[in-house]
């Protein structure tokens, strides 16, 4: 229920910065790849051109081919369907769950806080990789299961961050003011505390985009992530990393794809954080 | 004057104790007695000042009354209705009747909301009005506290301390409360601004028949605005009386010392400063007997052992002191 003039103001400030626009462009480019992958890619991403294995970038294969002679450009475009979507889903899941839990823990404090934070500690105590492997081996390969495994291991960062911030905010007098007005808890949490926590949450979310993309690669490399013929950026890195010196293009371009995506989210996140802060209005 | 029907707020034997640590080495519980058994009542339309040094429990008292802090024991009733034992739903209703203005105008307004949203929040919380009607009522409130209407779309950081405090006052008045607890509302402001805000509060009181509980350590502000004044020391009321009587002839030695600390803008007046020795006793180790005896210059043997009773010493002037 943000006043409409306020929303217009935020949007205007968001688009005024060139870096933010670049970030948004990178994200949009990703979305276009996800939606129109079959139209955009010159080859079938799973088709092996065995005569053209590890051929360098040329007019025929714009970004070269990999160890099995698969077109790298096509695999990057199709890979976005896995990698981009995966990063987004895992961050979104962790954000929703971790933020809510952290808000509740920080706001109520005391026993609620101790209980929720001990649960968080338990999740945090497992190395992420081991925990994800355990889940994957129980539930089997597949995109949904990777999202589940990585979300279950990824939400703790949000919970701890938000809890610490909420703990310091709840004693501010504006929170007491809305309490004394008779506001119910959900309103206090989501209308009053959350907007004041946006800056660290956005930073955490945009920085957190890269981790799931790379962890998925590791899982796939171990054969418990996504079936290896399905193109994903992380998967491409792990298949061809042994040939980094002889066929630099086979790992450089998937790496660039990951970097550009993460960069896009970081730039856009920075802009969003500043646009949402009323104090930074020029 | 018939007292009974005139009483808006009745506080009886209010206590707020904080347990500091579960157990000490010797198995004793350490308890901080922030508020330790105070009683007073507020008549409709009056202003009661509450003064005392830092840490004496003034603010805790105020926050207990509006139930921002759960009292340990005691009764609070607003227009005869029990505030302490009320159900959450009842409390929501009671809260429309009593509001609080905070000390720090910088932390008491949500930095992410516009003034319009902040002042409109009470209406949103209680679902009273929305859209155009809400905007009109919010603008009327902004007007009433002396801010311009274009403040509606602006953010708190664009205002000065005094203006922010006006926003806080507008928010507190939105629901037409009967009682307003003012928790050091001018202590954080410049002296020149203090007078403006105090005058605004007096004016609003006249217009709407508000009752104020005015908590402050600034004696001149309290004297200016209050009809009666209560003096607190270590979680207890030590004196309560009409402002004039209390300031001209204090009955408790602590009040006397406080009064002598007010600066007078006249160099010719030779006055006797009553200087207090030592610091206020730690409130988690309250002294036996009179809480003030360690710093009192009239100390008698009885003061160390026996707590003085809270008595009416004539004309509604209460004090707790063995001297009287």
Domains: count for chain B: 1
Structural contact between residues A91 and A150, judged by C-beta atoms closer than 8 angstroms = no
In a domain, B285, yes or no: no
Nearest neighbour of B107 by CB, restricted to A172, A178, A195:
A172
H-run or E-run covering A259: helix A249-276
Phi, psi of B18 (to 5 degrees): -110, 130
Locate B291 and state its tokens.
């809480």
H-run or E-run covering B63: helix B58-65
**Average pLDDT for B190-201:** 91
Q: Which CATH number does the domain housing residue B222 bear?
A: 3.40.50.300
- Substitution target in A109, A181, A186, A189 with the highest count of B β-carbons within 10 Å is A181
CB contact under 8 A, A180 and B99: yes
Give the three-state DSSP class for B57: coil
Looking at the predicted structure, is the pLDDT value of residue B293 above 50?
yes
CA distances from B140 to B97, B126, B167 (A): 20, 18, 12
Q: Is A172 on the interface with B (CB under 8 A)?
A: yes
Touching B: A residues 186-225, CB under 8 Å: 187, 192, 195-196
Touching A: B residues 195-214, CB under 8 Å: none
What is the pLDDT at residue A1?
40
Give the three-state DSSP class for B27: coil
Q: Is A11 on the interface with B (CB under 8 A)?
A: no
CB contact under 8 A, B100 and A180: yes
In a domain, B44, yes or no: yes
Nearest CA of chain B to the CA of A100: how many Å?
19
Please state the ipTM of this predicted complex: 0.85
**Percent of chain B beyond pLDDT 90?**
56
Q: Is A246 on the interface with B (CB under 8 A)?
A: no
| pTM of this structure | 0.83
In a domain, B190, yes or no: yes
Residue from B44, B37, B45, B42 nearest B12 by CA:
B37
In a domain, B183, yes or no: yes
Looking at the predicted structure, is the pLDDT value of residue B67 above 60?
yes
| Domain that residue B219 falls in | 4-97+177-247
For the four alpha carbons of B71, B73, B78 and B82, in that order, the dihedral sign comes to positive
Q: Is B126 on the interface with A (CB under 8 A)?
A: yes
What is the pLDDT at residue B1?
43
Nearest CA of chain B to the CA of A184: how many Å?
8
User: How far is Cα of residue B73 from the mean position of the Cα atoms in its chain?
Assistant: 19
**Average pLDDT for B14-19:** 90
Structural contact between residues B67 and B83, judged by C-beta atoms closer than 8 angstroms = yes
Looking at the predicted structure, is the pLDDT value of residue B2 above 60?
no
Strands (E) located in chain B: 7-21, 30-43, 47-51, 73-78, 81-82, 98-101, 179-183, 211-215, 228-233, 236-242, 311-312, 318-319
In a domain, B269, yes or no: no
Nearest neighbour of A173 by CB, restricted to B66, B107, B155:
B107
> Tokens 């400030």 sit at which residue?
A13
pLDDT by residue (tens digit) across B151-192?
999 999 999 999 999 999 999 999 999 999 999 999 888 888
Q: Is B103 on the interface with A (CB under 8 A)?
A: yes
In a domain, B196, yes or no: yes
**A25-33+70-280 CATH choice from 1.10.3720.10, 1.10.10.410, 1.10.645.10, 3.30.70.360:** 1.10.3720.10
Give the three-state DSSP class for B100: strand
Q: For residue B278, what pLDDT band results from cuts at 50, 70 and 90?
A: low
Q: Chain A residues with CB inside 8 Å of B93's CB?
A: 182
Residue extents of the structural domains in chain A: 25-33+70-280
Nearest CA of chain A to the CA of B215: how many Å?
16
CA angle A119, A163, B161 (to 5 degrees): 165
Looking at the predicted structure, is the pLDDT value of residue B3 above 70?
no
In a domain, B227, yes or no: yes
Nearest CA of chain B to the CA of A182: how many Å?
5
pLDDT by residue (tens digit) across A40-97?
999 998 888 888 888 889 888 889 898 888 999 999 999 999 888 999 999 999 999 9
Those residues of chain A that have pLDDT short of 50 are 1-2, 282
Q: Render the burial of B44-76: b for 16+ CB within 10 Å, e for the rest.
A: ebbbbbbbbeeebbbbbbbbbbbbbbebbebeb
In a domain, B301, yes or no: no
């Amino acid at each position: 229920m943000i006043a409409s003039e306020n929303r217009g103001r935020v949007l205007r400030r968001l688009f005024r910065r060139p870096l933010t626009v670049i970030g948004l462009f990178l994200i949009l480019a990703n979305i276009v790849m996800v939606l129109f992958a079959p139209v955009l890619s010159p080859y079938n991403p799973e088709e092996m051109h065995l005569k053209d294995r590890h051929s360098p970038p040329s007019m025929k294969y714009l970004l070269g081919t990999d160890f099995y002679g698969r077109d790298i450009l096509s695999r990057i475009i199709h890979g976005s369907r896995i990698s981009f979507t995966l990063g987004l889903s895992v961050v979104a899941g962790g954000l929703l769950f971790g933020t809510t839990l952290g808000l509740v823990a920080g706001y109520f404090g005391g026993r609620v806080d101790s209980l929720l934070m001990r649960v968080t500690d338990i999740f945090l105590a497992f190395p992420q990789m081991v925990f994800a492997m355990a889940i994957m081996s129980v539930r089997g390969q597949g995109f949904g299961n990777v999202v589940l495994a990585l979300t279950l291991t990824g939400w703790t960062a949000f919970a701890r961050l938000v809890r610490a911030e909420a703990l310091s905010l709840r004693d501010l007098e504006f929170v007491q003011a809305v309490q004394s007005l008779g506001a119910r808890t959900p309103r206090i949490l989501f209308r009053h505390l959350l907007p004041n926590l946006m800056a660290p949450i956005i930073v955490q979310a945009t920085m957190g985009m890269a981790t799931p993309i790379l962890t998925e690669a590791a899982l796939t490399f171990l054969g418990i992530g996504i079936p290896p013929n399905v193109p994903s950026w992380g998967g491409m890195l792990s298949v061809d990393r042994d040939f980094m010196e002889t066929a630099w293009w086979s790992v450089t371009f998937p790496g660039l794809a990951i970097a550009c995506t993460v960069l896009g989210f970081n730039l856009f996140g920075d802009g969003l954080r500043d646009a949402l802060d009323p104090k930074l209005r020029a | 004057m018939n007292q009974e029907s005139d009483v808006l707020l009745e506080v009886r034997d209010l206590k707020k104790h904080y347990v500091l640590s579960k157990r000490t080495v010797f198995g004793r519980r350490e308890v901080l007695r922030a508020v330790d058994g105070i009683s007073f009542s507020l008549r409709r339309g009056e202003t009661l000042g509450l003064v005392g040094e830092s840490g004496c429990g003034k603010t805790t008292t105020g926050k207990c009354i509006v139930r921002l802090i759960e009292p340990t024991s005691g009764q609070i009733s607003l227009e005869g209705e029990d505030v302490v034992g009320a159900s959450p739903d009842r409390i929501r209703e009671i809260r429309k009747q009593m509001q609080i203005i905070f000390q720090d105008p910088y932390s008491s307004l949500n930095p992410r909301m516009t003034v319009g949203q902040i002042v409109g929040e009470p209406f949103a919380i209680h679902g009273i009005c929305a859209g155009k009607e809400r905007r009109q009522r919010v603008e009327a409130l902004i007007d009433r506290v002396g801010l311009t209407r274009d403040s509606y779309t602006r953010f708190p950081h664009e205002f000065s301390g005094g203006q922010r405090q006006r926003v806080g006052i507008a928010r507190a008045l939105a629901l037409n409360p009967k009682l307003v607890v003012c928790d050091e509302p001018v202590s954080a402001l410049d002296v020149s601004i203090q007078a403006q805000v105090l005058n605004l509060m007096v004016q609003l009181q006249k217009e709407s028949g508000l009752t104020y509980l005015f908590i402050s350590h600034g004696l001149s502000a309290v004297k200016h605005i209050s009809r009666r004044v209560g003096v607190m020391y270590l979680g207890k009321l030590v004196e309560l009386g009409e402002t004039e009587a209390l300031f001209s002839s204090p009955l408790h030695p602590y009040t006397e010392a406080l009064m002598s600390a007010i600066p007078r803008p006249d160099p010719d007046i030779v006055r006797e400063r009553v200087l207090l020795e030592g610091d206020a006793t730690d409130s988690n180790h309250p002294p036996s007997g009179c809480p003030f005896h360690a710093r009192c210059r009239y100390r008698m043997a009885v003061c160390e052992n026996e707590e003085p009773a809270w008595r009416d010493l004539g004309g509604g002037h209460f004090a707790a002191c063995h001297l009287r």
